Structure formats: structure tokens, C-alpha cells
Amino acid sequence: MHKALVDFLYVSGDGYGIFDARDQLVFANPALGEIFAIELQQLIGMSFAQIIRHCHQQQLGLNIEATDLDDWLLYAAQRRRSVPFRIFEADTVNGHWYLMSEQCNAEGAILLHAKDITEQKRLQFALQQAEQLLRSQANTDVLTGIANRRYFMQQAVKVLKHQQRTGAACSLLMLDIDFFKQLNDTHGHLAGDKALQYICQHIQSQLRDYDLFARYGGEEFVILLADIPAKEAVQVAERIQQELELHPIRYRNQTLPLQLSIGVAELQPRQTLTELLQLADKALYQAKAAGRNCCVVANSSAL
């Protein structure tokens, strides 16, 4: 090999290596030795499989996540010379990431190049996390931590479509805290905020994991119950009301009055989400008019 090239490769931060057609490493620079965490003198002459077994057994160098290493090696062998050139990412046990390329010649030798991309990966992970956080914040009500109206509307449309296609039942509960303005006026806005958080926790405790529960407005909530007809939805509503009765909220040594009026509507064929919401809202209005702290089922032809 030309001396200038050898000199260059020996000081390069990128890893370089050549595997011959029998998959034995015939050349490696110091950077590649560091990636595999094997002394250069020991590394040169090792087969690809030996290097991987070494890393796996010693838990050093390349991070080999394999429950069955023979399977892993078989899979790698199938891919290694399948195309003249391929690139992939690999990480090391000490947390570095590399963009690896394998260039294969006509004789079956492979030129391996490894570029450290740890910093790019770190930024990529940070960006993904920030994106995830933003997405979750966009769907969550800040005060109560439950889903917000925007998320509810997005998801409810999908649930309704699915239930209507399969012909399964689906009910909507619209819940509104009674005399909440009075609670705020008497005990302060902070007490009101605490009451909202408290009520959400207790409602949640009465629901299934996949029920869609959201804050619809100030002191108004919605729950979409898939596979539940109105008759059973009323039982859920009453269970929630009982839960609040059994567990009154205490704030500064006082018990805060917390009761809910609830409107229930059952999904009809070809009904839209807006129509279902309007029906539940009408039923809620009737519950308020009937004296509050009760549950009214909408007449589906009331719109």
C-alpha cells in the first residue's frame, strides 16, 4: 500500500479495515481497533465471526444485541456480500454510533469504513424526544393531564367510524361540574384548579384504559365508551357520581362540594361526531334543568 495512504489511515479518526474473501481481517487501522475494542496486533488475522463473538462475549466494542449469536452471524453473513455496497448504523457498548459502509469487490473482499456519528445521533435522539414531548403537549390538557378537546375530536372520529362499520355500540358521556363558579368564588381559583385535577383522577379510576376521556371545556368533560350501549353508559355515569360522593375532596380543612351532571347519548348509524356531541349536550342541559347531580339519556331523535 502507498506509504502516504497508510500514514493517512493510521492517524484517521475513521475506522478502516479490509476483510478478505474468507472474511478474515487482513488490514485495520487503529481507529477500527478502538471500535472493536481489540488491540490492533490481535485484531488483524481474526475472522469477522471471531471479532463479533469477542465483542459479544466480552461486552466490549460493538454492541451485539443477540439472544442467539449463531443466528445473528448467519444473518450477517447473508447480508455482507449480498450487494456491492451497503451502509448501516452500528453502536458500541460505550455509547458511540458509527455509520458503517461495506464495499465488496469482485473477489469477495470487503472494505469496511466506519464514521463516528455519535454527535448527529445525539441530536437526532434529542430532536425525537422534543418532538414526542411537543406531540404529547399538543394533545394534553395542562392542568389535569388528561386528553384535551383537540385530541378527543381527532380520536373520536376514528372510534365512531370503527364502531359504525362493525355495528358495535358506542356511547358518549358529557359531564359538567355543578355550581363550579360558586366553588371558585367561595374557595378561590386555586381550590377550583385542585378540584378539577381531583375530579379527573376519580373519573379516570372508573374507566377502562382505552376509554377516551378528555377535558372538553372549562369544567366540562367528555368520555367516549366504545362497545357500550346507553343503558350501560348510565351505569358508568352513576358509578362516577358515586365515586365522587364516596370520596369528597378536602381543601384547607374543608370539604368542597363536587357533583356532576351528566348527559348520555348512544351512537346511531350514520350519525356524525358533531351530532352525537349535540345530543349528549342536550341531555346534559336536561340534567342541569332536572336539578343537577343526575344523569339523563338523550332521545336519539331529539336533534
Ligand X SMILES: Nc1nc2c(ncn2[C@@H]2O[C@H](COP(=O)(O)OP(=O)(O)OP(=O)(O)O)[C@@H](O)[C@H]2O)c(=O)[nH]1
Q: Which residues bind ligand X (CB under 6 A)?
A: 143, 176-182, 184, 189, 192-193, 196, 218-219, 288, 292
Nearer to ligand X, 96 or 215 (CB): 215
CA 45 vs CA 40, 41, 138, 225, 228: distances in Å:
10, 8, 55, 65, 68
Catalytic residue among 34, 102, 219, 266: 219
Report the residue number, 179 or 251, with the smaller CB distance to ligand X: 179
3-state secondary structure of 75: helix
- In whole angstroms, what is the distance from residue 181 CA to residue 218 CA? 11
Active site residue 220: no
* Cα separation of the two ends of the chain: 85
CA distances from 71 to 49, 66, 202, 253 (A): 12, 8, 50, 65
Instruction: Using alpha carbons only, give the angle 102, 105, 106 rounded to the nearest 5 degrees.
Output: 145
What is the rounded distance in angstroms from the CA atom of residue 195 to the CA atom of residue 163?
33
CB of residue 249 vs ligand X: minimum separation in angstroms? 13
Tally of CA atoms within 13 A in the half-sphere of 287 that contains its CB: 30
Q: Looking at the annotation, which residues are catalytic?
A: 219
